[in-house]
Structure 1
Amino acid sequence: MNLVTNPRRERVDAARNRVKILAAAADIVAAHGVEGLSMAEVAAAAGVGVGTLYRRFGDRSGLAYALIDEREREFQEAFIEGPPPLGPGAGVFARISAFLHALTDRTVEQLDLLLMAETAAPFARFGGAYDGYHAHLSMLVTQARPGADAYVLADALLAPLAAPLLAHRLRGCGVTVERVKAGLDDLLAGFAT
Structure 2
Amino acid sequence: MDRRTDLLTGRPASEDDRPPERADAARNRAKVLRAAAGLFATRDPRTVTMDDIARAAGVGRGTLYRRYPDTGSIAVALLDEHERDLQERLLRGEPPLGPGAPPGERLAAFYAAMVALLEAHGHLLLGAESGSSRFTTGAYGFWRAHLRALLVAGDVPDPDAMTDALLAPLSAEVYAHQRERGLSPERIAAALAELTRRTLPGATPEA
TM-score of the pair, normalised by structure 2: 0.79
1:162 and 2:162 matched: no
Q: For residue 189 of structure 1, what is the aligned residue in structure 2?
A: 197
Q: Greater shift after overlay, 58-67 or 44-53?
A: 44-53
CA shift digits 1:19-57 (9 cap, x unpaired): 332233324445x34558554454455453231112211
**Aligned counterpart for 2:154 among listed residues 140, 144, 150:** 144
**Alpha-carbon distance in structure 1 between the residues aligned to 2:93 and 2:30:** 27
Q: For the structure 1 residues 115 and 45, does the alpha-carbon distance in structure 2 shift closer, same or farther, using more than 3 Å as the test? A: closer
Q: Which runs of 5+ in 2 are unaligned?
A: 1-7, 202-207
**Aligned counterpart for 2:136 among listed residues 102, 108, 127:** 127
**Alpha-carbon distance in structure 2 between the residues aligned to 1:47 and 1:164:** 30
**Aligned counterpart for 2:12 among listed residues 5, 10, 23:** 5
Residues 64 and 116, structure 1, Cα contact 8 Å, conserved in 2: yes
Residues 34 and 113, structure 1, Cα contact 8 Å, conserved in 2: no
Q: Greater shift after overlay, 19-28 or 56-65?
A: 19-28
Q: For residue 64 of structure 2, what is the aligned residue in structure 1?
A: 53
Alignment size in residue pairs: 188
- Identical positions, percent: 41
Cα displacement (A) at 1:166: 1.4
**Alpha-carbon distance in structure 2 between the residues aligned to 1:112 and 1:192:** 31
**Alpha-carbon distance in structure 2 between the residues aligned to 1:90 and 1:41:** 46
Cα displacement (A) at 1:101: 0.8
Cα displacement (A) at 1:191: 2.5
Map 1:65-144 → 2, pairs under 5 A: 65-118=76-129, 120-121=130-131, 123-128=132-137, 129-144=139-154
Q: Which runs of 5+ in 1 are unaligned?
A: none
CA shift digits 1:46-102 (9 cap, x unpaired): 453231112211222222222122211212112122222211122222211111110
**Alpha-carbon distance in structure 1 between the residues aligned to 2:135 and 2:39:** 27
Give the AA of the match of 2:169.
P
Cα displacement (A) at 1:126: 0.9
Q: Greater shift after overlay, 10-19 or 54-63?
A: 10-19
Residues 4 and 132, structure 1, Cα contact 8 Å, conserved in 2: no
**Alpha-carbon distance in structure 2 between the residues aligned to 1:158 and 1:41:** 31
**Alpha-carbon distance in structure 2 between the residues aligned to 1:103 and 1:57:** 26
Residues 111 and 189, structure 2, Cα contact 8 Å, conserved in 1: yes
**Alpha-carbon distance in structure 2 between the residues aligned to 1:2 and 1:179:** 30
**Alpha-carbon distance in structure 1 between the residues aligned to 2:128 and 2:39:** 17
